[in-house]
Structure 1
Amino acid sequence: MPEFVGGLPLHPLVVHFVVVLLVIAPLGALLTALWPAARRRFGWLAFAAAAVGTVLVPVATSSGENLANRVGTSPQVQTHEALADLMIWWALGLTVAVGALMVVHTMAARKAAVGSDGTGHVDEQKNKAPALVMIGLAVLTVGLAAGTGIHVYRVGDAGARAVWEGVENLPPQNGG
């Protein structure tokens, strides 16, 4: 994996993709879990955002380690790295939860469209189990969406502090 793209370190470039996706994904997951109309229209899109964000987290952490090796570490960088190492678990949990929610939703919608006995008649007793599963998955998705959103903020805040703390005390560069 390259350390630089167009002369810029890869880490801040990838991190911005991760941050955008892992802010959109929890918001989409919350809507998906709580609002059936949004679930039908945007549920799979929320899943896709979470999945792509999850895939990019290891790229971001790896490129961050490369950058830290190049520029050196500080207590702020170490805090940022420790928090960033946990991000994959939040992202993965959110991806699995919203994916499971969408699979159960899609299966229930198909079953309701055809009817449980093939005649178009829906047996309400058989639909209670998917409803309970949907409620459980919705609660899990809401919790993981909130946790993921909070953790993205924590990682980003620690990274910003690692980069920018003490900058106000530096003299202007290049006559600026």
Structure 2
Amino acid sequence: MFDTIQGLPLHPLVVHAVVVLLPLAVAGTLAVALVPRWRRTFGPLVALVTTAGTALVPVATQSGESLVARVGAPAGDHQVLGGQLLWFVLPMALLLWALVVMDRRAVPADAPRAAGTGRRAADDGRPAPRRGVGAMAATTSRETRTAGGAVTVVAALAVVAAFAAGFQVYRVGESGARSVWGGVGTSQAG
């Protein structure tokens, strides 16, 4: 299925998309994880780019298998490293989506409340406690700290996953380039 397109091997074509999208995904994940004010604006876009890059990894892997059947196995570790790539980018994608969703659901401690309803103005559907103004502020602050702490943990995990994914993308690309172009440019005494 993932063999050729108009007579050309599909693998190099798909790999170019992966090589563009995944580094963008890594950079974008680092940006929205480390700069919270960018999450609402750029988070969904970065998550979509990351999803597209992640979805193309199995296509690149399968088209690589088809290419191996036609021309033989590549030199070095390229095939093994490429087979592992999905397990590096998938956690990054999942953590990024979790971060975007959690950030959108977070209600800041200083969010105004709707007058007389006991509900937050953002109206997340949960009633506010009715034990007085001081108790409401303390509870909301505690909820925000807990939610903010979870967002911070997910952001930190996303940073780690992005670095790991970026390093693996580099390893796969470098080994593939060496297997194809390793002998080019070396002079042979004859």
* TM-score category, normalised to shorter length: 0.7 to 0.9
Q: How does 1:20-169 map to 2 (within 5 A)?
A: 20-76=20-76, 79-109=77-107, 115=113, 117-120=118-121, 123-168=140-185
Scaled by the length of structure 2, the TM-score of the pair is: 0.81
Equivalent position amino acid for 2:159 in 1: V
TM-score, scaled to structure 1: 0.87
CA drift of 1:6 comes to 3.1
Alpha-carbon offset, residue 118 of structure 1: 1.2
Identity within the alignment, %: 40
1:14 aligns with 2:42: no
Please report how far the alpha carbon of residue 168 of structure 1 lies from its aligned counterpart in structure 2 after TM superposition: 3.2
Distance (whole Å) between structure 2 residues aligned to residue 36 and residue 133 of structure 1: 13
Corresponding residue SS for 2:85: helix
Structure 1: gaps of 5 or more residues:
172-176
Runs of 4+ in 1 over 6 A off after TM superposition: none
Aligned length: 169
User: Does the Cα contact within 8 Å between 2:4 and 2:10 map onto a contact in 1?
Assistant: yes
SS in 2 for 1:167: coil
Backbone CA RMSD of aligned residues: 2.4
Whether the 8 Å CA contact 2:26–2:166 is kept in 1: the answer is: yes
Q: Distance in 2 between matches of 1:167 and 1:158?
A: 14
2:131 counterpart residue number: none
Q: Which has the larger radius of gyration?
A: 2
Which range moves more in the overlay, 95-104 or 113-122?
113-122
Would the alpha carbon gap of residues 119 and 7 (structure 1) be closer, same or farther in structure 2, given more than 3 Å must change? closer
Aligned partner of 1:40: which letter? R
SS at match of 2:73: coil
Distance 1:114 1:87, change over 3 A: farther
The alpha-carbon deviation at position 119 of structure 1 amounts to 4.4
